[in-house]
Structure 1
Amino acid sequence: MSLTYWCEWAWLPDGVAGDVLVEIDGTRITRVEQGPPGSAERLPGLTIPGLANAHSHAFHRALRGATQRGEGDFWTWRERMYEVAGRLDPHSYERLATAVYAEMALAGVTCVGEFHYLHHDQGGRPYGDDPNAMGHALIRAARAAGLRIALLDTCYLSGGIGVPLSEVQLRFSDGDSERWAARAELLAAAYEGQPDVEIGAAIHSVRAVPPDQMPVVAEFSHRHAAPLHVHVSEQRAENTACVEMYAATPVQLLHERGALGPRSTAVHATHLTDVDVELLGQSGTYLCMCPTTERDLADGIGPARAAADRGARITLGSDSHAVIDLFEEARGMELNERLASRRRGHWSAADLLAAATCTGHASLGFPGAGQLVPGAWADLVSVRLDSVRTAGTSGLEAVVYAASAADVHSVVSGGRRVVAQGRHVLGDVAALLKKAIEELR
């Protein structure tokens, strides 16, 4: 069915323009031109392409506000996270993820990269006859909320470098990379030809996947031309252990095992050497920065600008969902650079918004998204320019430096209207979140 929207303002490849008509047919944009609204549905404010949340752990949303009491670090936070993971099953995870993805849609996200490693039941046993029950639950959740999903099926084999799996971590593991690949192949076959789902791969980290197991995961990515994501150098302790064991940094180890390249994404990449930056840039690997999580967990500030200057492509994610707001993540990357360098102006607003849109979608295996052009996915996110945050502002700077997720009032995702007047088609998302999280507690 053909629909036409009239955008008061729209961000097009050549910049911001007014009075823009966007015609869509099914899931794609068919026409973009300037003109009067006529009978088209009006979208006030600034309309941008759908946002891509390139790094998500949906179940971490249950930790929001619950891990801020007292002292602690990444490792104590991780223990709280494992407690939540231990309570989930396919039914409870689907309910929680549906609400979390609906929250993302309210924030303008139309595609999510779900870094999925909660595969099995207690002790590592499959759920019934379906070893991918949890993955299917996440895909159903994304579809219910109106998002496309790159399910980044994660290989997770050890509890740390040279450390056996804990009882909870057994739920994450298939035993070895060959068994991981056999299960991932079943998942990929189940969604072959379905354009709203991309089955990708992930190496959890150098802590969780020994070097001799990494090539199997990389080969899956190559065979399916699918994304390959990996947590990299989030903590200095990870780097120290890796160098002591393998005489190489995590980036160097991944490079040696064929896990870097133009379909790969290094997530966090907080503590990099100059050699690491060169390897990531020269290989064309994406870097997914998650500034809010990296602040929340006291990880540090990664060298995003230096890596981009050497050729790495920058994307953004909300990771642990301390907040779900890609505008906050975008400006956070610039503001972090200002703190580290004591200078302003490292990224233009267009650069930051590209990281949250077209570059993010491409890193998740959806290169035909993230721009308002004919042939692209019909993702339109409209942001108010008359709220208490944005009143008196204009242009992309209004969105990147003033707006919040609360200013998104309309979302069309893949041609489907999922948010209208700031309300999701599923109804009261806050109530859905509250119920799902209370059930886990």
Structure 2
Amino acid sequence: MSTTYHARYAHLPDGLARDVRITVDHGRITDVTTGLELQRGDHALPGVVLPGLANAHSHAFHRALRGRTHADGGTFWTWREAMYAVSARLDPISYLTLARAAYAEMALAGVTAVGEFHYLHHGPGGARYVDPNTMGHALVQAAADAGIRLTLLDTCYLAGGLGADGYADLEGPQLRFGDGDAQTWALRVDDLQDHLTGGPAHLRVGGAIHSVRAVPRDQLGVVADAVRARPRPQTRFGAGDVHTGPVPLVPPHGVNRSGTPLHVHLSEQPAENEAALAAHGLTPTGLLEAEGVLGPDLTAVHATHLTGEDVALLGGHRSWACFCPTTERDLADGIGPAVALRDAGARLSLGSDQHAVVDLIEEARALEMHERLASLERGRLAPSELLDAATAHESIGWPDAGRIEVGARADLVAVRDDSVRTAGADPAQLLLAASAADVDTVVVDGRVVVEAGRHRLGDVGRLLHEAITPLWKDT
């Protein structure tokens, strides 16, 4: 049975339109007609309707850090110690509880799909669960409960750091992140099935290199090749996590036969660049190029401290650059070269990363505002470009989402235009005025997840409180 929605204003691929009727059937948009007034039987959507927003970079468990890392100032590296402390306290049940609440908060903000940069894989001290993907399955269930799609960017994390003398071993809480080597990591990820291989309809399995600090040089290409070989025949782990099947053939460097997303933290801190130059004589971007990792399937997260040559390499490969402005300013990372990357040919996406703020509208606005601060010029990125970055589902493996057009996934976000923030704003410029608090209705794959500003799970603030408070009870 089809459902028809009516929007007074909607952002379509060719621009803003008035009086738009959107017909949805089996989770897909089957008709889009403009210039028609509200008719009996239509479901009226208030304000301005956007395509679903894509949160391309998330660490769900970081949500527990909000409001707890500022007392002594500190640096990115002291913040990281607090992050490790939280990671050490989580088990599969508390991870599910926290991620469910975090994803519900995203849904309230208009996010219809999230790319989860997942490296909290194993038990304390690195102990293996009976199912080595238990923590990943908790994230999959959390997204299903919250009503959004998940791209599980299972992350290879092998080393504790990089210096001029080489790579450090994992230690302490980091032991939960590691699989020993990239081949073992790939075999574990092989056991995850997504909507392309008979798994959950809301799941896409991708991969990630944590950073050039955490994955040794000789393992970078192994990770990229493994990701680019998906989907492939599934190989199950048996008792004791023993892999008994053949190792599948992989395509050459830079060739992605599956469209599987590949992500990497890149040049977030100057110290990362200094370490790569000292150890390898290359910037992190240059190192990825040398090892065949760069490509149009790659999303470089943060991309803050790039040289002109780095920008040219990412642009030449048509790679994605995922900016997380609220995190980058919270951690004093700096302002990345968004416009320079765009002009070089790279594509832009957005994430909320550590969730100091969960508001993709704010992330989009900050992309332009940070550019204004850095350049002393306005209008560096047009409102339409900000919307493109906020709806870049392709960067997390959902190329059929992020547009209101026939055949696309039925993801709709109605943003009120009559709030104290948005009243009087031009609907074409709503992203420069609104916030997540103005999101009224969210439809994901044709299902209503948020209505009148309320999530189907109920009080999300309460869910967050109940998930986070126990993690800090002994501090």
TM-score, normalised by the number of residues in structure 1: 0.98
Report deviation, 1:433: 0.2
Q: 1:33 to 1:190 in 2, by over 3 A?
A: closer
Amino acid at match of 1:212: D
Please, which moves more after superposition, 180-189 or 117-126? 180-189
Secondary structure of 2:168's partner?
A: coil
Alpha-carbon contact 2:194-2:201 (below 8 Å) kept: no
Partner Cα separation in structure 2 for residue 125 and residue 30 of structure 1:
49
Match of 1:100 in 2: 102
Within 5 Å, give how 1:300-379 maps onto structure 2: 300-357=334-391, 360-379=392-411
Within 5 Å, give how 1:375-386 maps onto structure 2: 375-386=407-418
Partner Cα separation in structure 2 for residue 176 and residue 431 of structure 1:
40
Are 2:124 and 1:90 equivalent residues in the alignment?
no
Within 5 Å, give how 1:165-244 maps onto structure 2: 165-188=170-193, 192-193=197-198, 194-224=200-230, 225=258, 226-244=260-278
Partner Cα separation in structure 2 for residue 305 and residue 100 of structure 1:
30
Match of 1:401 in 2: 432
Partner Cα separation in structure 2 for residue 342 and residue 37 of structure 1:
44
Match of 2:81 in 1: 79
In the alignment, structure 1 segments of 5+ residues that lack a partner are none
Partner Cα separation in structure 2 for residue 190 and residue 166 of structure 1:
35
Are 2:432 and 1:413 equivalent residues in the alignment?
no
Within 5 Å, give how 1:278-289 maps onto structure 2: 278-289=312-323
Report deviation, 1:180: 0.2
Alpha-carbon contact 2:327-2:356 (below 8 Å) kept: yes
Amino acid at match of 2:62: H
Report deviation, 1:196: 2.0
Report deviation, 1:190: 9.0
Partner Cα separation in structure 1 for residue 152 and residue 279 of structure 2:
31
Amino acid at match of 1:71: G
Match of 2:237 in 1: none
- What is the total number of aligned residue pairs between the two structures? 437
Alpha-carbon contact 2:195-2:202 (below 8 Å) kept: no
Amino acid at match of 1:223: A
Amino acid at match of 1:204: H
Report deviation, 1:186: 0.5
Runs of 4+ in 1 over 4 A off after TM superposition: none
Amino acid at match of 1:5: Y
Partner Cα separation in structure 1 for residue 59 and residue 194 of structure 2:
23
Within 5 Å, give how 1:123-134 maps onto structure 2: 123-127=125-129, 129-134=130-135
Q: 1:379 to 1:344 in 2, by over 3 A?
A: same
Partner Cα separation in structure 1 for residue 226 and residue 112 of structure 2:
26
Match of 1:267 in 2: 301
Report deviation, 1:191: 6.9
Match of 1:9 in 2: 9
Report deviation, 1:37: 1.7
Are 2:27 and 1:27 equivalent residues in the alignment?
yes
Of 165, 168, 179, the match for 1:163: 168
Secondary structure of 1:187's partner?
A: coil
Match of 1:146 in 2: 147
In the alignment, structure 2 segments of 5+ residues that lack a partner are 231-257
Partner Cα separation in structure 1 for residue 93 and residue 46 of structure 2:
39
Match of 2:246 in 1: none
Match of 2:117 in 1: 115
What is the identity percentage for the equivalent residue pairs of Structure 1 and Structure 2?
Answer: 59
1:214-259 deviation digits (Å, cap 9, x = unpaired): 1111012211121000000000011001100000000000111111
